[in-house]
Amino acid sequence: MATTYACPHCQAHVAVPAGTPQVTCGACRNVFAVGAAPPPPPMPMPMPVATGAMPMMPPGNMGAPPPPPQQQPQRRKALIVGINYVGQRGELGGCCNDANCLQHLFTTKFGLPQENIVRLTDDEHGRRDRNFMPTRQNIINGMRWLVSDVRPGDTLFFTYSGHGGSQQAGFMSDERDGANETLCPLDYSRAGEIIDDEINAILVAPLPPGARLLAIVDACHSGTVLDLPFITSHTRHRGQWEDQRGRVYKGTRGGEAVCISGCADDQTSADSSALSQSVNTGVMTFAFISAVEAGSRTWGEVLYNMHTKIHGNQDPSGGGRPGGMFGGGGMGPMMGMMAGGGIAGMLLAGLAGGMDGGGGGGSGGRGFSQIPHFSASEPFDLNRPFVI
């Protein structure tokens, strides 16, 4: 029977047969007498760990699961453009009023902080600082600012009230009507118009999943001015989405883009005092704000209420002066409902004298032929709640 001893020199374990007086360590060749060194201590036994128990972690966070990522705050930003083309051929009267009214709507109804709104207008606001004049370069810069560092959860607003145009598209264009829809900046005669392809590339293409863009464009030929692939209207499409996708992808990177346009690509939009009965506005802009302030609950109700504000209960091809949203009584009932803080009250007060007045411009009291349109990066149920 052998007994295990520890070498007094290197502590190696050495098995010594019974009765052996001395032994040579196999590790260090040290010779020692048996009994001169105590037997080695017993080997430590591992501590049992209960099933499902968390093993002990070393000090600090080493080996611990990483903390959850911090959620970025949701941001709301707006670029608002209104151009009256003061002193130019084709001068308008209500586009800067549209810009002022939409800024008020965004801050009071949609919760945008003033510091997150950039307004480009050719009124006193723009004349005080040329950086806020609606030139081509300033509009492009504003669009790039709007989508800069866009991330999931952001809601962006782009509005434009002014002249719109239509240009012959190139041979390789995928435009169904063979034309590019355009926006006309203040200096368009010198710097050029902004075509729909450029607007789509800047505002629509970068939107990531969870980000939203709402555009409101009150201009002639604006039905597809953002080049979004799906379009609908109350009368021409009866609320059904038309697929206008072409060879080139014009959607987002997973976000949602929706545009509310003043008319179809083959129509014109009116600048008139007929709806406000006080100062000039874009007809579509006034109809949109009225639909929001009337409490439209769904996107379909917004589209319907805009249509009835402009046309009453008539088809636009039927002629005749449009009645009010709540029947044939014009704006009287609506003005009464919105007195005391609404946009209509602002218009009646003329923004304390700061709004542009003027006569009936545009279509005046003869009725309007324009049909508001929705376009979108993806079709959606118009019964969806109108929540911005």
Q: Which of 220, 221, 263, 307 is catalytic?
A: 220
Q: Which of 163, 234, 307, 311 is catalytic?
A: 163
Q: What are 89's two structure tokens?
A: 């051929």
Question: Which of helix, strand or coil describes residue 140?
Answer: helix
Looking only at the bridges linking them, the beta strands covering 256-261 and 212-218 are parallel
Q: What are 86's two structure tokens?
A: 């003061």
Asked if 220 is an active-site residue, the reply is: yes
Looking only at the bridges linking them, the beta strands covering 117-121 and 76-82 are parallel
Cα(111)–Cα(73) distance, integer angstroms: 14
**Could you tell me which residues are beta bridge partners of residue 212?**
155, 256
Distance between the two ends of the chain, CA-based, in angstroms? 89
Cα(53)–Cα(108) distance, integer angstroms: 55
Dihedral, 270, 271, 272, 275 alpha carbons, nearest 10: 70
Backbone dihedral angles phi then psi of residue 105, each to the nearest 5 degrees: -60, -45
Cα(308)–Cα(314) distance, integer angstroms: 8
Half-sphere exposure of 151 (CA within 13 A, CB side): 6
- Taking the CA atoms of 309, 315, 316 and 318 in sequence, report the sign of the dihedral they define: negative
Cα(207)–Cα(205) distance, integer angstroms: 6
Burial of 370 per CB tally in 10 Å (0-12, 13-18, 19+): buried
The catalytic residue positions are 163, 220
